[in-house]
Copies of this chain bind each other. A is one copy, B any other.
Amino acid sequence: MSSPPRTACMNVDVDLSPLRATLEDAGVDGYLIDDDASDSDQRYLSGFTAPDSYQTLVTGDGIHLLVSGLEYGRAQSEAAADSVTRRAAYDYQELVGQYGPYEGKLRTIAAFLEDHGVDSIAVPRTFPTGTADGLREHGLEVTVESKGVVEEIRASKTPWERDQIRRTQKANEAAMARAEELIAAAEVADDGTLLADGEALTSERVKEAIEVTLLRHGCGLDDTIVACGADGSDPHDRGSGPLRAEELIVIDIFPRDTETGYFADMTRTFARGDPGEEARRRYEVTKEAYEAALEAVEPGVTGGAVHDVVCDVIEGAGYETLRSDPTTETGFIHSTGHGVGLDIHEQPSVSPAGGELEAGHVLTIEPGIYDPAVGGVRIEDLVVVTEDGVENLTDYRVALDPRSS
């Protein structure tokens, strides 16, 4: 890969001292991850991404990778590691031949740890139990680091990371604009169905236009929500079928930059024509809650307090929340927000249990109100906590009516 390995730049400003302090407090020699690059902690620590599993070891003196022969050359040139070793150095294939893939892998990792003078390790909560129990049988001390210290480190974004997230959100804005344009330009059939080029403008067609736009901006995505009417009242319903006039249309896009791995996230609620008084009221209440939350965010305030601000507004307008009724299926039925980075959902949490926000945290603010009888409203921006408040990484009108008609 001859393009500049942007992932490798990332770690320049990363401060791993909280992790090393945790290791010291626990009295262990190292921190081990055994996963593939879908584990964002590993991608973050190693500055490397590979489709198959590899191991990242953080010790007091460095970051050490254990990779397959296939990944060895690329890891050497791209990874943000102090050393890269290939599994063949510990006779991996021979061990697999002799003991099978499970035990062969364990013995290879045990040899790698021994090579680095490591007898005891802390591991993330998600560390594979098979590897943990297996290494214990080989005499290693394995303890779970249960606070999620790497997730905590990741929550505060370096300036480089903020730039990556902003870049992904720019792509997101282009995709949202394309979707809005399709809804605004559609014709309305007699039965209220939106039409484009003489055919129903479906959720699927709008999603395809979003995805093609994102692709052209270097982003991919697993999923997009374009949900009309009752579909939009289930916050995770992806939506399907024809879009209709005079109904709420929730569009939630969460793309990932293919190269850097950084996500962005944004939701807007549109309507073509008048969705009715109750829908318009819910939109205004949601907007008020969203503005109140943006106003509340600053360092030292807890995610729980920001969530309470949103619940106050929504309950004050007469709708249920999970705070007023933990089993409600209508009203405001999710958290106010979540961190965004190499994962689409990461620390910090803007929910009842959410802890203190810090400068550098990147998070969503996304209140919503849902009811199958009315549809769904959600407004979501992506912001970064600054020294004295918040900087919005989202540059898109709050929305509702595409060229109102």
Across the interface, which residues of B come within 8 angstroms of A235, CB to CB? 70
With A1-B240, A51-B345, A70-B334 known as contacts, the answer to whether A128 contacts B126 (CB < 8 A) is yes
With A97-B352, A215-B208, A353-B101 known as contacts, the answer to whether A144 contacts B125 (CB < 8 A) is no
Is A1 within 8 A of B130, CB to CB?
no
* Interface residue ranges, A against B (CB under 8 Å): 1-3, 38, 50-52, 69-71, 73-74, 88, 93, 96-97, 100-102, 104, 123-134, 142, 144, 146-148, 208, 211-212, 215-216, 220-223, 231, 234-241, 258, 322, 326-327, 329, 333-334, 344-345, 349, 352-353
Partner of A69, one of B88, B144, B333, B349: B333
In the assembled complex, the Cα of A236 lies from the Cα of B327 at a distance in Å of 48
Across the interface, which residues of B come within 8 angstroms of A345, CB to CB? 51-52
Is A74 within 8 A of B130, CB to CB?
no
Is A127 within 8 A of B129, CB to CB?
yes
State the number of copies, please: 2
Across the interface, which residues of B come within 8 angstroms of A241, CB to CB? 2-3
Partner of A125, one of B38, B131, B220, B237: B131
Across the interface, which residues of B come within 8 angstroms of A3, CB to CB? 240-241
Partner of A130, one of B38, B144, B208, B231: B144
Whole-angstrom distance from the CB of A361 to the nearest CB of chain B?
A: 17
With A88-B326, A93-B352 known as contacts, the answer to whether A146 contacts B127 (CB < 8 A) is no
Q: Can you list 18 A-B contacts (CB < 8 A)? A: A51-B344, A70-B235, A88-B326, A97-B352, A97-B353, A100-B353, A101-B349, A102-B146, A102-B148, A104-B353, A124-B130, A125-B128, A126-B128, A129-B131, A129-B144, A130-B146, A208-B215, A208-B216
Across the interface, which residues of B come within 8 angstroms of A70, CB to CB? 235-236, 333-334
In the assembled complex, the Cα of A296 lies from the Cα of B344 at a distance in Å of 44
Determine the residue in chain B with the shortest Cβ distance to A231.
B2
